[in-house]
Structure 1
Amino acid sequence: MTVKNLGGANLKKIAMVLVTILLINSKLTFIAYADPTSGAPTLSSEAAILLDQKTGQVLYDKNSTAQMYPASLTKIATAIYAIEKGNLDDIVTVSSKARNVEGTRVYLAEGEQISLKKLLQGLLINSGNDAGIAIAEHLDGSVRNFSKNINEYLKTEIGVQDTNFVNPHGLFDPNHVTTAEDMARITQYAMKNETFREIMSIKELDWTGEAWSTTLYNHHKLMREIPYEGVTGGKTGYVDQSGQTLVTTAERGNLSLIAVTLKGNTQTEAYNDTIELLDFGFENFKTTQIVKGKKFESEDGVPFLATKNLNYTQMKTGDVKLEVTNDGTLTVVQSNEALNTSFQLKEVKQNTAVASSKASSPDRDQEQIPFTSNISFYFFMLIIVLGVFGMVYTRVLKR
């Protein structure tokens, strides 16, 4: 492409034309932004994903649909399932099976009675496998029934299709699998729940049980030991077969992110990968909201409005335009086509009574013109009559 040299006057004319086009075409909104792909993270973990929590937009992925072993990330699904199905005030009796499960525990005693909410705290903060078994048995009678029901819940309520859990805690089983994308979607769904968000964000908690009294500390290092600005929650996981697994949620300004890494070789690699993902997200993206009630017009002038707040992800610099078709589809078109998204708007029906009233108003105005003229005529005639009457009356008096 050949670029001709443009003089200052020509540049001013072009600028004026562009500004005029932007002002006239109210159906399109333009914002500037740049392609950040050159700065995309290089990760050591075998699978990873970065998600905009509000919009669900994938900002980065690496093998995100490959089925892998989640380890204790499973407990995120167990927690939201229990919160939505159970009663937090329920008192749970701990079984022998829960008491004797291997791995990380909160050292529940057999026969101990404890609230479901406290079990959820032990599950998420200290990654208690015994708490997971106790929850599963309380909700569904057995781990087997729990597994069947939670898999159905994950498919029907959350919509993930590549996850199969056979226990509530994530200890290794060759059939216990998920994907980075599924884990991000499960976390996104769970973070909409206030109780889940509250427990997920706890950094430390005093714990008093029959067999163990201590302070529980969240295992996620970005929550405490190496704090990352904006982190709102996280869950760690590890078994030999899964490697290091990590889910992290973070928020700065209007952007909320979910980062998932699976099968890191070491903790250091998993945390470095997570920090790279979050840095990449916060440096390059933002969430933009179209407020409920905002009006739009299609190219043919058909009016539409947003019936709820609509969020979409965009890069911080570059081109974004909003296009509305005659069927009410609002499409957010961006330079990075992967960020394109669509919403359905509601058509605004014109009030026929008002339209009819407006249409007939000119006729009424025409009727008012002679009416006003008649008033003036009658007033003028009255003055003449009074004048004549006055003259006659004066002559009669003189006689």
Structure 2
Amino acid sequence: MKALRCTTLVALLLFSFFVTVQFANAEEPSLSIQSEAAVVIDGKSGQILYGKNENEKMYPASITKIATAIYALENCELDDVVTVSENAANVEGTSVYLEVGEQVTVEKLLIGMLINSGNDAAIAIAEHIDGSVEKFSEKMNMFLKNNIGVTSTSFVNPNGLYDENHYTTASDMAKITQYAMKNEQFRNIFQMQEYQWDGLSWDTTLITHHRLLKGEFPFEGITGGKNGFVDESGQTLVTTATRGDLDLIAVTLKTNYKDVPYTDTIQLLNFGFDNFHTEMIPKFSTLQSNGKNYIAPEDLYFSVKNGEQYKENIDPDGQLNIVNDANEIITTFPLTPEIEESETSTVAVSNPHTEKESSIDFFPGYVIVLFLFIIGFLFVRKRRAKKEY
């Protein structure tokens, strides 16, 4: 009996050890982010994977031009010809040295604005689309709110020059960039490392100011980026990266040190790539719950921690909830009731494949504990049998 108690105690201690190791491995590694605000999101699902003061209002500087670019791409054509005004040519700060009366295509202005951070190019675009900087800013803010869903952003110019009423958040900037990255024309410019600029008064090779994009900090998978700086905002940075099927967007806001946005961004991207993956329910898939069928209205992307189980539950209102191990809702999607005779594929509400995969790491611990317990139990039985014999 004493031997049985000892065996049981050993088994329980081993079980406790394996559980402790499992949860220790599941803990998120600590990040040492020096920028005052930062966020990394899944570029497909939009879910925040890590945030620091991500909802605090901050001054963005030239990363504003990401918003200007996507608004312009949806409101004019790349081959539109813009006549540069005196207001645009004389704007302060970084420029591509546009001359009054110079005629430049929107595409070339977007390249000069994103690669070389030309404030003059940004003003020229704004005036071309809406007639004035003020009207452009007003309409762009409406666009950002209505089309993208930002909640804490107000831009009063297209280039990011300081104004106390010109602000955003790390979270909003990540949303804006996620939206912009869906546009192929934006992606093509955003990833450019250099461009041969042939202007009326300036011929040169533009080289991106984003140090990760041009390889100063080696990092696999960088797909685009924009930096910014004014005294009031400090250094700001937006970066996109892809490895395999995982797209990430990292935003850092406010630091006075030039290297910090890049070291922070590397931490954020490594954290995302090391700990998460993206799942997807295809558009028009049928999901079943309580005898009712629902349709996925579009490809539904959601982010899951590596090794984490999740379930798909549909509530009575037809809303799909993705629920994790701790019974917390990861994200939700509205579904459409299925129309009769819909020709769609059927997807089970639960995801046994994911649950099976995420159970693999934990499985050996149970097996070893069970094995040791059985061996101990048989050993005790054998000794007791000998005594009784």
Q: Same fold (TM over 0.5)?
A: yes
Cα distance in structure 2, aligned partners of 1:50 and 1:339: 19
Q: What code does the residue aligned with 1:212 have?
A: W
Cα distance in structure 1, aligned partners of 2:326 and 2:230: 38
Cα distance in structure 2, aligned partners of 1:133 and 1:348: 48
- Offset of 1:334 from its aligned partner? 0.8
Match of 2:301 in 1: 311
Tell me if structure 2 keeps the 8 A contact 1:33–1:318: no
The 3 A distance-change label for structure 1 pair 122 and 350 is closer
Q: What code does the residue aligned with 1:100 have?
A: N
Superposition TM-score, scaled by structure 2 size: 0.78
Deviation readout 1:121-164 (Å, 9 max, x if unpaired): 10001100110111111111111211212112211221212111
Within 5 Å, give how 1:1-399 maps onto structure 2. 5=8, 36-224=26-214, 225-298=216-289, 300-335=290-325, 340-348=330-338
Tell me if structure 2 keeps the 8 A contact 1:34–1:316: no
- Offset of 1:102 from its aligned partner? 1.4
Deviation readout 1:11-47 (Å, 9 max, x if unpaired): xxxxxxxxxxxxxxxxxxxxx9987543042200000
Cα distance in structure 2, aligned partners of 1:34 and 1:84: 47
Gaps of 5+ in 2: 1-6, 12-21, 342-389
Tell me if structure 1 keeps the 8 A contact 2:313–2:323: yes
Cα distance in structure 1, aligned partners of 2:190 and 2:181: 9
Tell me if structure 2 keeps the 8 A contact 1:243–1:263: yes
- Offset of 1:322 from its aligned partner? 1.9
Cα distance in structure 2, aligned partners of 1:120 and 1:342: 36
Point out the structure with max Rg over C-alpha. Answer: 1
The 3 A distance-change label for structure 1 pair 173 and 348 is closer
Cα distance in structure 2, aligned partners of 1:285 and 1:313: 7
Task: Calculate percent identity across the aligned residue pairs.
Answer: 54
The 3 A distance-change label for structure 1 pair 174 and 305 is closer
Q: What code does the residue aligned with 1:258 have?
A: I
- Offset of 1:75 from its aligned partner? 0.4
Q: Residue 266 of structure 1: SS of its match in structure 2?
A: coil
Cα distance in structure 1, aligned partners of 2:55 and 2:242: 25
Cα distance in structure 1, aligned partners of 2:335 and 2:168: 35
State how many pairs are aligned.
326
Deviation readout 1:340-398 (Å, 9 max, x if unpaired): 112233444666xxxxxxxxxxxxxxxxxxxxxxxxxxxxxxxxxxxxxxxxxxxxxxx
Cα distance in structure 1, aligned partners of 2:129 and 2:302: 37
The 3 A distance-change label for structure 1 pair 242 and 155 is same
Match of 2:371 in 1: none
Superposition TM-score, scaled by structure 1 size: 0.76
- Offset of 1:332 from its aligned partner? 1.2
Deviation readout 1:108-132 (Å, 9 max, x if unpaired): 1111101011100100011001101
The 3 A distance-change label for structure 1 pair 131 and 37 is farther
Q: Residue 118 of structure 1: SS of its match in structure 2?
A: helix
Deviation readout 1:152-199 (Å, 9 max, x if unpaired): 221122121211111111111111111111111111111111111111
- Offset of 1:296 from its aligned partner? 3.2
Q: Residue 259 of structure 2: SS of its match in structure 1?
A: helix
- Offset of 1:327 from its aligned partner? 4.2
The 3 A distance-change label for structure 1 pair 284 and 214 is same
Q: Residue 28 of structure 2: SS of its match in structure 1?
A: helix
Q: What code does the residue aligned with 1:322 have?
A: E
Tell me if structure 1 keeps the 8 A contact 2:321–2:329: no
Cα distance in structure 1, aligned partners of 2:327 and 2:123: 45
Tell me if structure 1 keeps the 8 A contact 2:98–2:199: yes
Cα distance in structure 1, aligned partners of 2:75 and 2:23: 44
Cα distance in structure 1, aligned partners of 2:130 and 2:146: 18
- Offset of 1:326 from its aligned partner? 4.6
Tell me if structure 2 keeps the 8 A contact 1:36–1:284: no
Gaps of 5+ in 1: 9-31, 352-399
Tell me if structure 1 keeps the 8 A contact 2:66–2:177: yes
Cα distance in structure 2, aligned partners of 1:344 and 1:35: 34
